[in-house]
A and B are shown apart, each in its own frame.
Chain A
Amino acid sequence: MSRVKIPPDKQIILNVNGDEAVAYALKQSLVDVVAAYPITPQTIIVEKFSEFVANGEVHTEFVSVESEHSAMSACIGAAAAGARAFTASSSQGIALMWETLYIASALRLPIVLAVVNRALSAPINIHCDHSDAYGMRDSGWIQLFVENVQETYDTTIQAFKIAEDERVQLPVAVNLDGFFLSHTLENIRILPDNIVEEFLGGYRKVPSINVDYFEDKVPYMLNPARPITIGPLDLPDYYFEHKMALIDAMKNVYQVVREVNDEWYELTGRRYGDGVIDTYGIEDADTAIIVLGSAAGTVKHVVKRMRSQGLKTGVIRIRLFRPFPYREITELLKDIRVVGVLDRGISYGSYGPVYLEVNTALYDLRERPIIVNYIYGLGGRDLSPHEIEYVIRELHEIFEKGFVENKLKFIGVRG
């Protein structure tokens, strides 16, 4: 740890919840425009940030828009004008901005969005599940899931760096579990302002592109010095190629996320696996659980206890859900015999989205593990250590038997 640039004792301890951690990260990230609309459990982010604005602690222009659709639209306008832009939302808010999510990514605008995960209506419910994040799965956004409040702070800052990387230029959604993280206090360590500024390289820098009516490259922004047309009509003769550019950019994300994770480690002494995937006890395991978000903490706790009792089990926390780490999952699971995929959301008439991805990742293995999907925690229902223990024991029973009939199971739901 001696090589850490800002050792823990030089970092400031802050007692905050997940939403406030996002707000503090924003305050340090030289964000030009924040456009947001209130929705529980995201509200604390914008409330806290409004205080920074009201006290003149940031240069940010805060636009309190009249809907989430306009929040994302204003971020798109701001980012197209060359600004660093941020918004935050949850659940119905994400659903309402869905149309513009696709436009933000296709216009290659590095907007950062904090998604404070919450169940979708109906019935209306303000508590955590991942349906909102799953709903934007195909929108061309990078999706990161965090496990605790410290990681929420760290990842929000990292998100700007990832989004604005020349190789990426895509928007990033930082997913934190509603209430479990957004409203739960934790002592975290934050960096001094100037260090964050240095990490991000100052204000946002706009990339340059070729336009056939200018000889030199021009900044990709709404710029009266070099006028360009952003968001034109694109017909069958070009649309596909433009989508290919987005597809190709997504391929670069894994590497950039890893680099940023490494750089953060050198800076702070903190890292989250390799940035893409975080594992525990997987090296010698027969069974494994795959999970996203804050539930990973509880799962790790139970896995640790059960490993001490001699059960060879491990946990894989997927931090980067989009683009999905297929190669890494294939590699990690090749010697595992039974995998339980926990999904806090479901595609009705199908399985949980992570389960489908894991199946895709494993198809090419000659000997594939058995994969079981456990749907848990819809509408904010708790996932207890007891239930996780039950799942792990069941995975081991399946391991002994060598087969399972029902691959779609539900945890903690009344029958």
Chain B
Amino acid sequence: MAKQELPNIPIVKGEPAYKIWIFEPGWKGELPLLTNPREIAENKRSALLPGHRLCAGCAAPIIIKLVSFAFRGPTIVVQPTGCVEVSTTIFPYTSWAVPWIHVAFENAAAVASGIEAAIKAFKRTNRLPYDNIDIVVFAGDGGTYDIGFQALSGMAERGHKILYVLYDNEAYMNTGIQRSGGTPRFAWTTTTPVGKAIPGKPEWKKPIAEIMVAHRIAYVATATPAHWLDLMKKARKGLEANGPAFIHALSSCDRGWRHEEKLTIEITRRAVDTCYFPLWEWSPETGYLLTDRSLAIARNPKLKQPIEKFIELQGRLRHLLQPENRELLKQLQEYVDKTWEDLLKRAVNAPK
């Protein structure tokens, strides 16, 4: 029977799920990356355990779960202050089955750098009981685009071998939906309300993934939880990369984006379908490569949906559908088209 030939991961019925994440000293090997949903269901357990207190409809734990399915073995997780941090570690409880640390808001990349340095020193003196320990940061947009940007840039420049996963819900959701450098133009937030004079956030979203490409690190990619296999593969590539890796994952927030809980995955899917958030990966060796649905759209442009498809589900952008805002909607569509065209020019695998 096929099931018995599956990789040997000890999930024992009735045993707590966290036990799968215990790596006794001397552990060797590599957890397989599974791509078959049934195999995943039978063999994998999320490093983020059930029982956490994130909102129903939040995309962040889905992203973390998918990334943790791609973990290779012993892994340390670092988080800055943010939604996931406060909702998964309310003392005396924790949802984390792997070693986890939070220090402050702006320094996750620096904390991770210190951990990586410690691991190097242990290796050098034969004190590391494993071949390797992976370090993964899960950070929100505030802790990445804004307050945490300096530490992130420093980590990238110094070349620490860390996978930095940005779950981008496009505003400071933890403190009550304030605008961030990741908030798209025209979006309503509590600090960019849609008023008579100003129709939501006046500035465009900071192109964070492009900025990380400009750092010439080992691997950069975009991803969404809707394109789950694409995300898992990218996470694995990021872990295998020989240097800093950065994954920009779009993470819808039903509270902040003002959408129904059940639409989380649908909205992130439409973000890709409309080319608002194209899926790609980059490395110094390969250059830009479109992936998954975005590659399909590049090959068959008829698949590209108008931006209305993305914003019609969200209260934060729905004012753009009012007749008096037709011009703003046009601007947004033009911006999306322009960035998509730019990407097509750069993407090695886009039809020319």
Contact = CB atoms under 8 A, between A and B. Distances in A.
Contacts of A103: 103-104
B113 A231 contact: no
B101 interface: yes
A71 B153 CA distance: 14
Interface stretch (B88-96, B179-187, B192-200, B217-225): B88-96
A74 B102 contact: no
Contacts of B103: 73, 76-77, 100, 103, 107, 231
Contact of B122 (A32, A70, A74): A32
Interface in A64-88: 64-67, 69-71, 73-83, 85
A85 B107 CA distance: 17
Given A33-B117, A59-B125, A224-B133, A65 B102 contact: no
B100 interface: yes
Interface stretch (A44-52, A172-180, A233-241): A233-241
Contacts of B121: 32-33, 59-61, 78, 83
B158 A229 contact: no
Contacts of B97: 227
A190 B130 CA distance: 37
A352 to B, nearest CB: 30
B127 A203 contact: yes
A138 B111 CA distance: 23
Contact of A227 (B18, B118, B122, B157): B18
Interface string A231-258: 1111100100000000000000000000
A59 B117 CA distance: 11
B320 to A, nearest CB: 36
A333 to B, nearest CB: 41
Contacts of B118: 32-33, 61, 77-79, 81-83, 85
A124 interface: no
A199 to B, nearest CB: 19
A133 to B, nearest CB: 22
Given A61-B117, A233-B90, A70 B154 contact: yes
B112 interface: yes
A384 B106 CA distance: 44
Contact of B150 (A33, A67, A213, A223): A67
A231 B105 CA distance: 12
Interface string B239-276: 00000000000000000000000000000000000000
Nearest to A242: B91
Interface string B132-176: 010000000000000000110110011000000000000000000
Interface stretch (B22-30, B207-215, B306-314, B339-347): B22-30
Interface string B321-333: 0000000000000
Contacts of B96: 227, 229
A401 to B, nearest CB: 53
Q: Which 7 pairs across A and B sit closest by C-beta, in order of nearness?
A: A77-B114, A74-B114, A66-B154, A224-B74, A232-B89, A70-B110, A83-B118
16 contacts: A32-B125, A63-B158, A65-B110, A73-B107, A75-B114, A76-B103, A78-B118, A80-B111, A100-B107, A212-B92, A227-B18, A231-B89, A233-B85, A233-B86, A233-B89, A233-B90
Interface of B: 16, 18, 21-25, 27, 73-76, 78, 85-86, 89-92, 94, 96-104, 106-107, 109-115, 117-122, 124-125, 127, 129-130, 133, 150-151, 153-154, 157-158
